[in-house]
Amino acid sequence: MQEIEIHLVPFDSPAAQRLITAALADLGARYGGSGDETPVDASEFTPPEGAFLIARLDGQPVGCGGWRSHGDQGDTAELKRMYTAPQARGRGVARAVLAAVERSAREHGRKRIILECGDRQPEAIAMYSAAGYERIPNFGYYADHPGCLSFGRPL
């Protein structure tokens, strides 16, 4: 089995942007539009206020995810832009990225991690549930949209 390599990269790096573009196209196919209108700034994913990671198999970028600070307390991270390329799905990439994102957030003093997800992403919902995430009140850009599901868990 190929080893999944996880690397910290700038959010606006070419490899990250290719994966993010694919992630947004996937969301657009599921929900319409651009996929996600949530305001995101690359600087939000710069340590110690955030981080962005990509997964590689055989040297090829196949997955990504990041966290940014959320709220005024400085103890919560928000998971953003989780994605696994279709050819790498079912190989543990998303779980490896999620674990690395959580570890990074914890190392930067975050005590909790939260995320928004849509109801047309059953594989993501299943993964988050299996990883110990529980439903929380909706927050963020899509809080009042039908189909928005928010999750969180302690780190």
> What is the tens place of the pLDDT at every residue in 79-94?
999 999 999 999 999 9
pLDDT of residue 18: 98
Query: Which percentage of the chain shows pLDDT scores above 70?
Result: 99
Q: In what order do the strands lie in the sheet with 5-8?
A: 5-8, 50-57, 60-70, 76-84, 112-118, 148-154, 134-136
Please give the CATH topology (third level) of the domain spanning 5-110.
Answer: Aminopeptidase (3.40.630)
pTM: 0.95
pLDDT of residue 1: 56
Domain boundary assignment for the chain: 5-110
Cβ neighbours of residue 29 closer than 8 Å, sequence gap 6 or more: 35
118 and 37 in contact (C-beta within 8 Å)? Answer: no
Predicted confidence (pLDDT) at residue 2 exceeds the cutoff of 80:
no
52 and 8 in contact (C-beta within 8 Å)? Answer: yes
* Tens-place pLDDT, residues 5-59: 999 999 999 999 999 999 999 999 999 888 888 889 999 999 999 999 999 999 9
